[in-house]
Structures are given as C-alpha cells and as structure tokens.
Structure 1
Amino acid sequence: MNNHYYTENPDLAHDLEQWSFELRGKKFQFLTDSGVFSRNTVDFGSRVLIDAFDWEELPEGKLLDVGCGYGPIGLSLASLSGRPVEMIDVNQRAVALAQENAKKNHVENVDIHTSNIYADVHEKEYAAIISNPPIRAGKKVVHEILSEAYPRLLVGGTLTVVIQKKQGAPSAEKKMAEVFGNVEIVTKDKGYYILKSVKEA
C-alpha cells in the first residue's frame, strides 16, 4: 500500500480540504488532500522555516524548494520575495495541489514539477535551496538532500532546512558542516532547528 506522503502515487481516496493560513503577514489559500504531508494546517516546522528564511543577502537566481508538498514554503517565499522559485516533490498528488495552490494565490513566479530529490531539476545552480525534508523517508534520503545541495548552489548561495531535534537535527547539522565547511543554527523553536549552510567561494 503506497499511502505515504513521500511516495510517488499515494493510492488513498481523495478527500479535498480548503483553508487559509497567514504566513509572514500574508494570507494564503491552500487546497490539500489525503496522502500529503500536514494536510490540515501548515506544519509548525515549515512555519518556522518560512519566518527564518532570509532572501536579502542571496546572489541573483532561483530558489529551489525540495519536497514542496502542497506548496506552503515555496509559494509563500515566491510571493513575498518576488524571486523565481522551483518547487519539486516526488509525490504527484502533492505537486498537482501545489500547482493548483499557485493559481489560487496568483503566484506566477514558480515552476512546480515532480522530481525525486534532484533527479529532474531544471537549473544547474540555485541562489538557495530550502527543504523541510521527508524525515520518514529515512536518513539516507535526508542526507542526500543535504550533501547533493552543495554542487547545485551558486557561490554565496545557501541551504536552509528545518529538522526536529528528536528527528535528527544534530546529525543533519554535522552532515552540513562536513559538506559545506560551515553550519549555523538560525533559530530553534519547540525542538525544531533551522539549519543554514553557505557555499563559500
């Protein structure tokens, strides 16, 4: 039974829901469904990541939201920053919802499509990669998101992720330090860590 949010085709019956949520002072409408992560509200980790993410100092270029789900991180950052954002997820149902939510919120500076981690991304390099990684898909997948981000960032670009302490934040922090040579805990809130690494020249 493929009913996990990190599989390609959750075969659960559809059960659509619509609700609104305010992110960084702006109200967004979200359509969600069974078989996607955190369908009833924007999960706390994503909220902390959205609030903590700084796009001001980044080089010119596109942002990449890895594991975008139905779109709260990528759509809010595209809308608020005005930067182009590519949003990817392995879950086709989540991608279809994210595309629908982009229309609902009139966010046009997005490119939303399926990709298993970085397999089918559209750019060679990004100004930033953001992820609320699918912890339940396992440590190997999470660490691949972290380590494979490095070659896909412009110099000065950042990788920013949210991970709960009890779900592996310390090991992710160590991995990012190993890959990038630097890592910062931007913020901690209720056990959620926002970790950021910069690709230095």
Structure 2
Amino acid sequence: MTNHYYQTNPESAHEIKKWSFELLGKSFQFTTDSGVFSKNTVDYGSRVLLQAFSWEKLPQGKILEIGCGYGPIGLAVAYASNRQVEMTDVNERAVDLAERNAVKNQIENVDIHLSDIYTDVHEKEYAAILSNPPIRAGKKVVHQIIEEGYYYLQEVGTLTIVVQKKQGAPSAQKKMEEVFGNAAVIKKDKGYYIIQSEKRGRK
C-alpha cells in the first residue's frame, strides 16, 4: 500500500529516527518516523519560512500552523516568540510525534492536535497562519488553506506559506492576491518562495 504523509493514518512500518537540528537559536531534539514529511532532516522550505516569518509586529493572539508534521516550524516559533502556537495536522502519526517533540524540547506554549485543515481548529481567529502546505495533496488543498485562512484571521493578521516555484508558487501567489488583495514574496531561496498576505480589516 502506498502511504502519503497527508493521509490520516499511515500504515507503513515504523522507522523511528532521532536527530538534532538548530532552529531560531535553539538546538532541537527531534524524533521522526516513516509516514511523515521530511523524516531525515528539517526540509529546506521550512527553514526558509522560519527565517522569513516575523511575529514582532503581529497583533496579540494565537499563531496557527496548518500541517505541522512532527513539529519543527510550530515548535521553533513557539520557542522564539513566546506566543501561543496551535499546531495541526491530518496525520495521526505526525501529531503524536509533534506532541512528543514538544515535551522533549520543553516547549509548553503549544496546542497540538488532529485537524483536516481548519475543520477542528480551536479558535475562531488567529493573529497569523503559517503553512508548508502538502503540495502532493494537490492544488485544491493549497487553495483551501488560502481561501478559508482569510476567515480565520483577526481583522489584522497574516497568512504565510512556502511553495517551490516549480510546484506552483505563482499559482498560490495569484490565489492569495485574489483572496486578500495582496500577496508579497517576502523571501526567495533555492526556488522556494515565501509568500505572505496581510488581512487589513474586514471585507
């Protein structure tokens, strides 16, 4: 059976790995497994997203990460910003690993749980939404993260995603422009585009 990291319950045999990686000034200890995205190292797109994302000027409120995997983005942001970060994924194995990695790295200001995109998120509005979207799940999923994200942001807030140019960054930027009225490429690195839209009051 083919298993994808964006499935709810991967059935691939477990292959536990443990390794460390420095993100935003902290050396994180990660446990990963088969059936999750980028199990051998923090993928380059996530690293570029973390370098580009700024929380200092955000309004008060939680940050939401859609598609957290085993946790590198959300845990690093929670550590560096001291903000509450809600981390969700559709993959049960990934959520279990993210919870374990939060405990291992003593990151307590996180809320990690299962959710199919926004279906089971815990708040009505967030100061920011982050995502390294599951491109292999298809453009429809990426566009849903963008379209519905608008309504889960506070009156002033940001949606920030990372997409490779060859995997549809121009299409994602166009969709973000349609939904938000703005979409800036705030960083480019090795073909990865960090695209950010700002919500500026209600439509």
Q: TM-score, normalised by structure 2?
A: 0.98
5+ residue gaps in structure 1?
none
Q: Give the number of aligned pairs.
A: 201
What is residue 137 of structure 1 aligned with on the other side? Answer: 137
How large is the Cα RMSD of the aligned pairs?
A: 0.6
| Cα separation, 2, equivalents of 1:2 and 1:35 | 10
Q: Which amino acid aligns with 1:157?
A: G
What is residue 61 of structure 2 aligned with on the other side? Answer: 61
Work out whether residues 2 and 9 of structure 1, in 8 Å CA contact, stay in contact via their aligned partners in 2: no
| Cα separation, 2, equivalents of 1:152 and 1:25 | 30
| Cα separation, 1, equivalents of 2:50 and 2:64 | 13
Once the 2 structures are TM-superposed, how far is the Cα of residue 26 of structure 1 from its aligned partner? 1.4
Q: Which amino acid aligns with 1:115?
A: S
What is residue 114 of structure 2 aligned with on the other side? Answer: 114
Alpha-carbon displacement from aligned partner over 1:66-113 (angstroms, at most 9, x marks no partner): 000000000000011000000000000000000000000000000000
Secondary structure (helix, strand or coil) at the match of 1:199 reads: strand
What is residue 21 of structure 2 aligned with on the other side? Answer: 21
5+ residue gaps in structure 2?
none
What is residue 194 of structure 2 aligned with on the other side? Answer: 194
| Cα separation, 2, equivalents of 1:125 and 1:169 | 26
Once the 2 structures are TM-superposed, how far is the Cα of residue 24 of structure 1 from its aligned partner? 1.9
What is residue 48 of structure 2 aligned with on the other side? Answer: 48
Alignment of 1:172-187 (within 5 A): 172-187=172-187
Work out whether residues 30 and 101 of structure 1, in 8 Å CA contact, stay in contact via their aligned partners in 2: yes
Q: TM-score, normalised by structure 1?
A: 0.99
| Cα separation, 1, equivalents of 2:151 and 2:35 | 31
What is residue 123 of structure 1 aligned with on the other side? Answer: 123
| Cα separation, 2, equivalents of 1:141 and 1:162 | 14
| Cα separation, 2, equivalents of 1:182 and 1:147 | 13
What is residue 95 of structure 2 aligned with on the other side? Answer: 95
